[in-house]
């Protein structure tokens, strides 16, 4: 529970320090004195939402520090929070930097703040279901936690199955003609770099064919064909004619030169024929046909597949083989995952059914306790009910929701949000908190260390206000109750009393007792400190002394 609160620069409060010692504590003061600033301070230091608009007009930064008694051993927790107009707030736990989330986690079991806005929170279906669950004991809480832990795994498994099925459909469509294409591609015996190599071979073969043609033509001119003389025959004939007309004196020398020239020419042609050694044309053409067939088949496959190169075709083959392997393996994997998911679904369904049974049992117990407390709050003509609404689909929180209803004198029940007045909502809120404190095992394990009520009795008066005060005082036996109130009869019941007063722009908070407290009760009763009001106030204080 909270033992001390130090406030600086929040709302109208420049500086205030409160030391709590009572079980049932009231904070009073005139309207506009700054009581709501204390509510903001409680919210800030417990990790709730902070707004810079709550910073005192004369301050650039507000701070709230709290000292908590966290267990029976007397261990104390010190938390502090700063809120800056520049938006750079910070939190401290035992003087060490912390996040707002850490501050909230530390304080959520230590304090709960119930303002008039808590009535709106009470109308939230999720909050109503949480209240029912809080009465279900460890078995319900454990079942809910197991379902909450299992549900995301179930969703994840089902999503994975859907993703696998979607991928299989996509790949099966993609692979429809792929195996046939792969067989055609593999028949080409492709390898890395083969396309450039085959293009080079084709160009070489075409060049060789061209050179073979030129060689054949040249050889025919040299050796002559079946119907004609070759070049050497023509030279021999030409030399003979030359010898015939040569001068006698030169004939022998010319003949010698001619024979030598003819011999050299014949040797040249013989050497060329031997060294060129041209492959037969039909063999070259057969080789060209083979290369053209390979290149043509490659080009055809490229056109049909839309793949631009042989290397890309090899990559496509690898992709198809890996895809077909995955399709094969995923079939058995999918079956295993579907079996596991079905088991998880069945387990989640069993937990959801168990949770529903426990919630229905807890709801009946909860509404019985709330109705008993409402009877104590002068609402014995009403009937508070908890309707467990079943849903078709299981969620992380279960397969049902809770709806709080209220009926008067046997009339048809309606949601509390539509049929309950503000004062009735206040009493329902008090009855619920009292129900959480009155578990069958006698513990207050469902209550925080401190409950802060901000004018929760608003709308009540007379006897109902007194009954609400009695119920709050009873509630303080299980936890520290801090009530901000305008109701004098309730204020007189407190074991500790603080007053908030405003003078100009200065708001002060201080503890009062004795005659000073009697004067404050008198002011709350009649707006003055007349002798009659003081007498009534003293009587209230004597009547509601320590119990």
C-alpha dist (Å) from residue 479 to 46, 446, 471:
17, 10, 13
Average pLDDT over residues 159-170: 95
Residue 444: band (very low, low, confident or very high) from pLDDT cuts 50, 70, 90: very low
Q: Coil, helix or strand for 398? A: strand
pLDDT at 117 over 80: no
**Do residues 425 and 404 lie in contact, with contact meaning Cβ atoms separated by under 8 Å?**
no
Cβ contacts of residue 392 below 8 Å, gap of 6+?
399
The DSSP result for 310-372, as a single string, is HHHHHHHHHHHHHHHHHHHHHHHHHHHHHHHHHHHHHHHHHHHHHHHHHHHHHHHHHHHHHHH
pLDDT at 539 over 50: yes
Average pLDDT over residues 63-84: 85
Cβ contacts of residue 166 below 8 Å, gap of 6+?
none
Q: In the structure encoding, which two tokens stand for residue 445, read together?
A: 């394990």
Average pLDDT over residues 467-485: 89
* Helix%, strand%, coil% for the chain, nearest 5: 60, 20, 25
Average pLDDT over residues 58-87: 85
pLDDT at 140: 95
Q: At what angle do helices 462-475 and 422-437 cross, to 10 degrees?
A: 20
**Partner residues linked to 111 by β-bridges:** 450
**Do residues 281 and 209 lie in contact, with contact meaning Cβ atoms separated by under 8 Å?**
yes
Radius of gyration of the chain (CA): 51
Q: Coil, helix or strand for 405? A: strand
Q: In the structure encoding, which two tokens stand for residue 57, read together?
A: 């007009």
d(CA 6, CA 25): 17
Residue 180 host element (H or E): helix 178-187
**Partner residues linked to 77 by β-bridges:** 68
pLDDT at 366: 93
Taking the alpha carbons at both ends of the chain, their separation in whole angstroms is 21
Whose structure tokens read 């404050």? 520
- For 181, phi then psi, to 5°, come to -65, -40
User: Domain limits of the chain?
Assistant: 179-323
pLDDT at 530: 86
d(CA 509, CA 511): 7
pLDDT at 313 over 70: yes
**Do residues 53 and 36 lie in contact, with contact meaning Cβ atoms separated by under 8 Å?**
no
d(CA 231, CA 222): 4
Per-residue pLDDT tens digits for 363-392: 999 999 999 999 888 888 889 999 999 999
**CA 490, 496, 498 angle in degrees (round to 5)?**
85
The rounded mean pLDDT for the chain is 87
- Please, which contacts does 511-514 make with residues 24 or more away whose CB atoms are closer than 8 Å? 511/18, 511/19
pLDDT at 442 over 50: no
pLDDT at 276: 65
Per-residue pLDDT tens digits for 517-531: 999 999 988 888 888
Average pLDDT over residues 181-189: 92
> From the centroid of its chain, how far is CA 545?
54
Cβ contacts of residue 275 below 8 Å, gap of 6+?
none
d(CA 67, CA 76): 7
Sheet holding 398-408, edge to edge: 382-395, 398-408, 414-415
Q: What is the 3-state secondary structure (H, E, C) of 49-105?
A: CCCHHHECCCCCEEEEEEEEECCCCCCEEEEEEEEECCCCCEEEECCEEECHHHHHH
**Do residues 367 and 431 lie in contact, with contact meaning Cβ atoms separated by under 8 Å?**
no
pTM of the model: 0.67
**Partner residues linked to 388 by β-bridges:** 402
**Do residues 267 and 177 lie in contact, with contact meaning Cβ atoms separated by under 8 Å?**
no
d(CA 471, CA 469): 5
C-alpha dist (Å) from residue 383 to 165, 287, 405, 521:
53, 103, 8, 35
**Residue percentage of the chain with pLDDT more than 70:** 93
> From the centroid of its chain, how far is CA 109?
26
pLDDT at 419: 83
Whose structure tokens read 């179930």? 154
d(CA 514, CA 499): 13
d(CA 22, CA 452): 13
pLDDT at 119: 56
pLDDT at 462: 76
pLDDT at 533: 87
Residue 351: band (very low, low, confident or very high) from pLDDT cuts 50, 70, 90: very high
Average pLDDT over residues 2-27: 92
pLDDT at 423 over 90: no
pLDDT at 182: 93
pLDDT at 518: 93
pLDDT at 185 over 50: yes
The DSSP result for 453-497, as a single string, is EESTTTT--HHHHHHHHHHHHHHTTTSEEEEE---HHHHTT-SEE
pLDDT at 447: 73
Whose structure tokens read 């996040």? 99
19: left (phi over 0), alpha (psi -120 to 50) or beta: beta
> From the centroid of its chain, how far is CA 128?
26
Q: In the structure encoding, which two tokens stand for residue 530, read together?
A: 């007349």
């Amino acid at each position: 529970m909270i033992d001390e609160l130090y406030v600086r620069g929040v709302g109208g409060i420049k500086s205030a320090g409160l030391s709590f010692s009572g079980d049932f504590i009231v904070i009073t003061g005139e309207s506009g004195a700054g009581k709501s600033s204390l509510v903001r301070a409680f919210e800030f230091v417990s990790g709730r939402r902070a707004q810079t608009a709550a910073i005192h007009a004369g301050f650039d930064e507000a701070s709230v520090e709290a000292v908590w008694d966290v267990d029976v051993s007397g261990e104390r927790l010190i938390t502090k929070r700063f809120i800056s107009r520049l938006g750079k707030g910070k939190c401290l736990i035992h003087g060490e930097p912390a996040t707002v989330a850490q501050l909230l986690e530390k304080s959520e079991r230590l304090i709960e703040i119930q303002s008039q806005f808590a009535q709106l929170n009470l109308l939230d279906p999720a909050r109503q279901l949480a209240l029912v669950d809080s009465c279900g004991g460890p078995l319900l809480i454990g079942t809910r936690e197991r379902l909450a832990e299992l549900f995301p795994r179930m969703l994840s498994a089902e999503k994975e199955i859907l993703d696998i099925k979607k991928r299989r459909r996509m790949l099966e469509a993609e692979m429809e003609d792929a195996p046939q294409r792969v067989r055609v591609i593999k028949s080409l015996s492709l390898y890395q770099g083969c396309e450039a190599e085959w293009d080079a071979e084709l160009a070489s073969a075409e060049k060789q064919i061209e050179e073979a043609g030129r060689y054949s033509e040249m050889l025919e001119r040299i050796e002559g064909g079946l119907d004609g003389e070759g070049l050497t025959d023509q030279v021999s004939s030409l030399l003979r004619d030359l010898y015939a007309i040569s001068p006698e004196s030169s004939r022998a020398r010319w003949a010698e030169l001619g024979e030598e020239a003819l011999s050299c020419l014949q040797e040249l042609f013989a050497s060329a024929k031997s060294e060129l050694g041209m492959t037969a044309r039909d063999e070259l053409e057969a080789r060209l046909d083979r290369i053209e067939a390979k290149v043509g088949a490659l080009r055809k496959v490229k056109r049909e597949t839309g793949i631009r190169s042989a290397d890309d075709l090899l990559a496509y083959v690898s992709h198809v083989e890996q895809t077909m392997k995955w399709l094969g393996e995923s079939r058995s994997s999918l079956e295993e995952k579907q079996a596991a998911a079905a088991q998880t679904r069945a387990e989640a369904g069993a937990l959801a059914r168990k949770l529903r049974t426990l919630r229905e049992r807890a709801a009946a117990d909860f509404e019985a306790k709330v109705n008993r407390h409402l009877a104590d709050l002068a609402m014995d003509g009403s009937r508070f009910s908890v309707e467990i609404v079943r849903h078709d689909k299981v969620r992380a929180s279960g397969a049902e929701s809770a709806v709080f209803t209220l009926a008067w004198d046997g009339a048809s029940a309606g949601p509390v949000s539509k049929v309950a007045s503000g004062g009735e909502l206040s009493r329902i809120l008090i009855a619920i908190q009292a129900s959480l404190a009155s578990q069958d095992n006698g513990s207050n394990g469902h209550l925080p260390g401190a409950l802060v009520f901000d004018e929760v009795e608003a709308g009540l008066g007379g006897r109902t206000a007194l009954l609400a005060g009695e119920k709050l005082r009873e509630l303080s036996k299980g936890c520290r109750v801090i009530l901000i109130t305008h109701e004098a009869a309730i204020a007189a019941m407190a074991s500790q009393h603080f007053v908030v007063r405003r003078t100009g722009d200065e708001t002060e908070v201080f503890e009062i007792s004795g005659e000073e407290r009697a004067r404050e009760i008198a002011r709350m009763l009649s707006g003055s400190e007349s002798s009659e009001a003081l007498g009534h106030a003293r009587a209230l204080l004597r009547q509601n002394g320590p119990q």
